[in-house]
Amino acid sequence: MIVTPLSPVMGAEILGVDVAHVLGDSDFETVRRALLDHNVIAIRDQHLTPAQHVAFSQRFGDLMVHVKAEYLLPGQPEVLVLSNKKHPDGRAMGFEDAGRYWHSDMSYVDEPPLGSLLYAVEIPPEGGDTLFCNMYRAYETLPNSTKKRLVGLRAAHSYVASFEGKTSSGYARDTLTDEQKAQLREVIHPVVRTHPETGRPALYVNPGFTLRIEDLPQDEAVSLLDELIQHMTQPAFQYRHVWKPHDLVFWDNRCTMHHATTYDPSFARHMHRTTVRGDRPFAA
Ligand code: SIN
């Protein structure tokens, strides 16, 4: 197996492994270590059935089932389909505009995913890249006065608010049903979280799902969130993943945010995503 960094800020590609088959402990450890060291890993040239994708993902922990039940793969509910393709009857095959704003997956649940594994089944000839941002770097490079200000601060995250365009991404999209809303509630997480495996601090607010900062007047919270978002989304902390066919990209949601980009809709983009349950975020 060969692990090669993809940019100075984060990301590595892995060649020479076939995750359709059960990995031996040493190969598994190489992949796990690469994720912790590089935060985003692109495992190239994989040929995976949904069951194999699920089985590989489960080596890292329990899988989560997304609330948007209409976009789960029939018979394999751990797989969320992100796609602009349509069924013959015109129904969408997948979540077309998922994640077109900066976010850390499902930060709106108590135990958000440690990571997500997105498999490129079909990609457009250009566009549809995924941007990633390194939230360790974002934290480390804050002025000391801001770091002090963040100690003990906690933020509210909400998927419902995000659907309504109330979070700072301002991105409102298709609706959640009443049944889906009933499965969701606001959750509170530290603004700076300690990565449970590396012990490193990372910023843990995102424009997609972070609604407010607890115990701060809303105008102060909005201005602090704006300041943090400006800082963390600067190009110096970003890696742009340009997809290759059959990439399996695994990102660590505990120390990154990501942002899907647009593409020419006359081309198909069809992806399968699994998400691995993580710990409740904490600040050491
Ligand atoms: C996501 O999981 O947020 C979507 C990422 C992508 O489609 O590039």
> Which is the closest atom of ligand 1 to the Cα of 269?
7
Q: Give 258-270 pLDDT, tens digit per residue.
A: 999 999 999 999 9
Closest CA to ligand 1's atom 3: 99
Mean pLDDT (the chain, rounded): 96
> Which is the closest atom of ligand 1 to the Cα of 99?
3
Burial degree of 106 (CB within 10 A; 0-12, 13-18, 19+): buried
Q: Any residues with Cβ below 6 Å from ligand 1, and which? A: 82, 98-99, 116, 118, 130, 258, 260, 271, 273
Tokens 């040239």, located at residue: 45
What residues does each domain of the chain span?
A: 2-277
Q: Can you tell me the distance from the alpha carbon of 6 to that of 28, in angstroms, rounded to the nearest whole number?
A: 20
> Taking a C-beta distance cutoff of 8 angstroms, is the pair 214, 154 a contact?
yes
Three-point CA angle 219, 221, 223, nearest 5°: 70
Query: What is the whole-number distance in angstroms between the Cα of residue 158 and the centre of ligand 1?
Result: 18
Name the least confident of 18-32, 69-83, 171-185: 171-185
List of residues 6+ apart from 159 with CB closer than 8 A: 67, 106, 108, 176, 184, 209
Paired sense of beta strands 76-83 and 270-277, if any = antiparallel
Closest CA to ligand 1's atom 8: 260
Query: What is the whole-number distance in angstroms between the Cα of residue 130 and the centre of ligand 1?
Result: 7
Closest CA to ligand 1's atom 1: 99
Query: What is the whole-number distance in angstroms between the Cα of residue 257 and the centre of ligand 1?
Result: 10
Candidates 150, 131, 134; CA nearest to 220 is 150
Annotation marks residue 189 as catalytic: no
> Is pLDDT of 155 > 90?
yes
> Taking a C-beta distance cutoff of 8 angstroms, is the pair 252, 36 a contact?
yes
Q: Classify domain 2-277 by CATH number.
A: 3.60.130.10
Which amino acid is located at 223 in the chain?
A: S
Which parts of the chain are beta strand (E)? 2-5, 12-15, 40-43, 72-73, 76-83, 113-122, 130-134, 154-157, 187-190, 192-194, 201-203, 210-213, 238-241, 248-252, 256-260, 270-277
The token pair at 89 is: 């009857």
The pLDDT of 192-219, averaged and rounded, is 96
Q: Can you tell me the distance from the alpha carbon of 257 to that of 209, in angstroms, rounded to the nearest whole number?
A: 11
> Which is the closest atom of ligand 1 to the Cα of 116?
2
Annotation marks residue 154 as catalytic: no
Candidates 109, 104, 128; CA nearest to 258 is 104
The pLDDT of 40-64, averaged and rounded, is 98
Q: Give 158-189 pLDDT, tens digit per residue.
A: 999 998 888 988 877 768 999 999 999 999 99
Candidates 17, 43, 81, 83; CA nearest to 274 is 81
Closest CA to ligand 1's atom 6: 260
